[in-house]
Amino acid sequence: MSVSYIKAVETENFEEFKLAREQFGFILNELISVDKAYSEHGDIEFFLDEEGNELIRRMLQGYLLLLALINQNARFYPTFSAHIK
């Protein structure tokens, strides 16, 4: 496992990305399930297309929530908000 993956999974203190982490966990659990083990290649691709798009949507929503919080609190955290923008 890459260090980037491990750090991303361990950032549970970023509540804005909670739904994205749940979706990622759902996808992984489905991929290792017995049902998916006997699925056709095309069915797996369809699953990843559908659920992967949902993951991307949730990640974007988390990012937008984080930006909103940073912008809202920029006067309190000027150094951090400068790195984000």
- Give, for all 85 residues of the chain, the pLDDT tens digit: 555 555 655 656 789 999 999 999 999 999 999 989 899 999 999 999 999 999 999 999 999 999 988 888 776 655 555 555 5
Say what the pLDDT of residue 84 is.
54
Amino acid identity of residue 43, one-letter, is D
CB 80 within 8 A of CB 70: yes
Say what the pLDDT of residue 83 is.
54
pTM of the model: 0.71
CB 64 within 8 A of CB 56: no
Amino acid identity of residue 5, one-letter, is Y
CB 13 within 8 A of CB 1: no
Say what the pLDDT of residue 27 is.
96
Residue 67: Cβ-neighbour burial (10 angstroms; 0-12, 13-18, 19+)? middle
Say what the pLDDT of residue 71 is.
84
Say what the pLDDT of residue 74 is.
72
